[in-house]
Structure formats: structure tokens, C-alpha cells
Structure 1
Amino acid sequence: MEKRGGNGMAWTYTESGPIDAPLLLFVHGGGVGGWMWDRQVEHFRHAHCLVPEWSEQDGTGEDELFTIEKSAEALIRLAERKSAGRPIVAVGFSLGAQIVMQMMSDRPDLLSGAMLGSGSIYPASLARPLVGPLISLFYSLMRSRKFAALQARSLYVPGEQFDTYYAHSLGISRAGLIRTVRESLGYRLPAGFAYSTARLLVTVGEEESGSMRRSARDLAQMRAGSELVVRPGIGHGFSLAQPEAFNALLARWLEEGGLLPRRGSGR
């Protein structure tokens, strides 16, 4: 694990797998941590896996505040430094998917592939001003174990990871949470996304909001050859709700695109 602070933001990451294999970058969503990808890292242990972790604590200066743009900048530098010219595939969930979209827009030639799960591309202009008052009103409740259990259930956090999830929740500051949610709700897909050369897989839960499903459909339609997968019977959290199906889908898509060799085959 290593701390990074080149643009003022505090990042850490974990690294595993053979360093000469294709690079898989797993970017977590808001309200959860890198631990959400534990079962993916275990499954793809024949790849070189990087799992960055960013803090939802509020920084002490303007340059330390979380933004999607600064997060993408930090991960572009990390991916460039670690890839050594090998293919890079980024997998993002929710806010993490928005960060990956920003990476694709800022550096259209960087990624060989991207799997975008439940990432919104349409700003929620009406909801965004309400974020601060609502979080301030319910912040104490949000830190209770019972409320956290309800939230964990809605995100499909497995029982064995609940304590990790709850500890993570307690570490989120009020200001950091407000800023993170506002960032996500205000995100608009940059024009540069159209120039990305990455192969694209988009996923969304069948029971997610209409806006989220529309975002997924429109993302996939922007790029010729993209694949859209709508998972039946689930809401927000495909990789946590159905990890085996998620891993099988990602493995199949990577192998079909020549982005990762099958297990047991030579590189």
C-alpha cells in the first residue's frame, strides 16, 4: 500500500498479481472502499490488479478536496507508472465509474478497455442543492449501526464485510460526504469521452432508477462495438450482489477482446 498526494488528495492503493500481466484497475464507488473488489481481485489473481482507495474526509485546503477530475488525474498517473506499456483495463462502480469516464475523456488513448457499472452521466440539478441540508439533518442517524445495516443491505454488502463497511462509514466526515455526493450528482460526461479508444462494457441493474438505466443505455450507444448488460432482479451493486456472475462476465469480455489471457494459458 502506498500513499499518493501529487495533486493534494490523499490516495492509497493495494497491488497484487504478476507485474508482467495486463493491468486491471478497480475503482470503488462512494460510501464503500477498495474492499468491495476483494472477490474480483481473488478471481483475477492471474492479472496485475491495482485497487486505489480515496478518502471521503474533507481536506484542509482547496487542493485537498475530492473532485472527480483530480481523482482521474491521480489514477492516470498511477496507471501510467504501473503499466510499463502493458494494456490497462479500468473497472469502475457508480462514482468510480464516473472517475473512469473522466480518465477516458482526459486521456482517450490510455485505456485498452473499461467496464462501467452504474455510472450516471446526467446531472441531477434538482436534487443537488438538497444534499447538504439532508445529510446535515440525518448525519447522526447515518452513523448508527442499524441504519448502516439497512444501507449495506441496499448495496448488497455481504455479512462478512459488514464490519468493514460500517467502520468505513464511521470514517466519513459530514463535509466529505456532502462534497462527494454533490460531485457525483453534478457530473456531466465530458466531450472528450467520444475520442476514447477503449473497448467498452456497460452494466446496470434492472431495478435501478430510470435515469441510471438511461445513462447506461446512452453510454453504450455512444460507442460502436460497446456491450450493454442489464442484470435482472438487482439494483445498485452488481459486483457485490452477484460476484460470480460479475467475474464470469468480466472474464469473458476481457478474453474475447484479447485483453486478458485465459487462466492457465501463456501470456
Structure 2
Amino acid sequence: MYVHEEHPDADETVLFLHGGNVAGWMWHDLAASLPDQHSLIPDLPGYGTSNAEPWTTIAEVADSVAAVIRARAHGGRAHLVGLSLGAVVGTVLVARHPDLARSAMLTGAPLQGVGTTTRVLGLAQIRLWGSPSYWRVMARVFRLPEDSVDTFVETGMGIDRVSVRRAILPQVYGGVPAVDLEGLRRTQTPMLMLAGERESKTVHRALTEVTSRAPKAVARSVPRMHHEWSAEDPELFRRVLQHWLAEREPAPELTSP
């Protein structure tokens, strides 16, 4: 698994997990702006520079990321930050390897799966993933900054569509099995589970999958934000993350879910 690294001489490690339509590059600017944090940013199997590595299962990918933490994080532990697919992987990683996570800030995780309409539309769109025009339209939908659109298009077209069609989307759309979350009951990892105020009710409902299990998990809503709010308002995301890393408490601008 390819891993990008920032500020290797800094203190504690933050490991960033990307969403399902992008790759690790989505976190590069944020990580570069955090000089006090050692950052590890993997490209998950099927994505970016890891696109030749097939996706297996969410649990096995979480185990692979755990191996990266053991090998490369300072002290063999890391703070986890993830969005969408990355938030799902991060949640399962905490459940399976609670000793490796100093904390976790995870947003937009559809842990209960998605509805039929979303499932049908999502699988149908895979046929368009070989078209640059499709990815440029999606860049506007996700409100990506102009200087990241070309990278978004390039990495989008490079995603392993076989893995997405046969494994990634069916697993995410079907929801995370309860057995893969039960380890959360044994963790003392501080967890901040987030959902943009304007994203789907499915994601908001799924927050309880973690807060009902993990003793130190809290849930918050991000006012006015959609699913891809790390791109929609990067400065807000940075502030919320920095507050969490410093205080292990939700930033005051967040609201109750």
C-alpha cells in the first residue's frame, strides 16, 4: 500500500483515510499545513498509486492500515482522520485494533449502508468512470477547488473499477456487519463522529452505531456542510481537527446531531 508522508520529524502521528471517489491526495494540503503533526496518508487498495492492489474486505483493509501504523507511526500509534469510505475503514480499525488509535475523528460514515435508490444510482455510475467529463461534473458537485480538479479527474479515472463494482460498493452499501463493530465496546479511544448538516439522513442515523458502543465516542453535526465538507470548507475542517487533536473535545462550532 502506497503511503505519502509529511513532517516525519514532528511528534504524534495522524493517519488520514480518503473517501471512495478520490485518493490520498485529498489530504495532502491539510497535512502540509499541520507542521506539528507527523502525517501518514495511504492510498487504499484500488485507489491512486495503490490502484493495482485489489480491495478485499473492509476488515482486511483496516488490518492493512493497522500494519502501516505499527510500522511507521511514532510510537506505533496514530490519531485517525477519515471521510466517507475512509471513515468506515477507520471505524472498523478502531474496533479491531483499539490499541493503535490515540483518537479518531471520522465523518460521513454510512455504517448502516444505503437505501435502494442510492445503491442503484451508485452502481450505475461506475460505467461512466472512464469519462473525464463525468469526473469534472462530480468535481463541481463536490465543490472541489479549481486547483484540485485535474488531480481528481486523473485519480478518478485510475480507480480499479472491478474492485469498486464487485467489492467496495457492495460492502459499503450493505452496511458494516455488527460483528465488525463489537470491538468498539472494549475501546477507550476518544472518537468524534461527524456528519455534515446537509448530508443524508442515512449518515446521521449511523452515528449511533458508534456512540451506542464506544464509551468515549461523541457525535456532532457540522453546520451548513455537505458530505465532502473537507473540500467545501477546508479552513473549517482544519480548525475542527486541530481543536480535536489539542483538546479531545468537539470544536464549539459543531452542533448536536
The partner residue of 2:182 within 175, 180, 191 is: 191
Bigger Rg, which one: 1
> Is the alpha carbon distance of 1:253 and 1:128 closer, same or farther for their aligned partners in structure 2, counting shifts above 3 Å?
closer
Q: For the aligned residues, what is the CA RMSD?
A: 2.7
- Contact 1:98-1:187 at 8 Å conserved across structures: no
**Distance in 2 of aligned mates of 1:239 and 1:85:** 28
2:148 partner SS:
helix
Letter of the structure 2 residue corresponding to residue 183 of structure 1:
Q
The partner residue of 2:140 within 145, 153, 170 is: 153
Aligned residue number for residue 3 of structure 1: none
> Is the alpha carbon distance of 1:129 and 1:51 closer, same or farther for their aligned partners in structure 2, counting shifts above 3 Å?
closer
- Indicate the percent of aligned positions where both proteins have the same amino acid: 25
1:54 partner SS:
coil
- Contact 1:115-1:203 at 8 Å conserved across structures: yes
Aligned residue number for residue 52 of structure 1: 42
Per-residue CA deviations over 1:78-101 (Å, capped at 9, x if unaligned) read 101123426410101111111111
TM-score scaled to structure 2, two decimals? 0.84
Q: Does 1:181 align with 2:179?
A: no
> Is the alpha carbon distance of 1:243 and 1:133 closer, same or farther for their aligned partners in structure 2, counting shifts above 3 Å?
closer
Per-residue CA deviations over 1:105-148 (Å, capped at 9, x if unaligned) read 1112221100111011113474697479624xx61x34333322
**Distance in 2 of aligned mates of 1:18 and 1:75:** 18
Higher percent of residues as helix: 2
Superposed, 1:155-234 pairs within 5 Å as 155-178=142-165, 179-188=167-176, 189=178, 190-234=181-225
Aligned residue number for residue 243 of structure 2: 252
- Contact 2:82-2:105 at 8 Å conserved across structures: yes
Q: 1:247: how far off? A: 0.7
TM-score scaled to structure 1, two decimals? 0.81
**Distance in 2 of aligned mates of 1:184 and 1:78:** 22
Greater shift in the superposed pair: 182-191 or 113-122: 182-191
Per-residue CA deviations over 1:2-37 (Å, capped at 9, x if unaligned) read xxxxxxxxx101112143510100000111011111
Q: 1:210: how far off? A: 0.7
Letter of the structure 1 residue corresponding to residue 164 of structure 2:
L
Q: 1:42: how far off? A: 1.8
Task: Specify every segment of 5 or more residues in structure 2 that has no aligned partner in the other structure, as ranges.
Answer: 250-257
Per-residue CA deviations over 1:161-217 (Å, capped at 9, x if unaligned) read 000000111112431221221121123252112222211111111111111111125
**Distance in 2 of aligned mates of 1:84 and 1:144:** 41
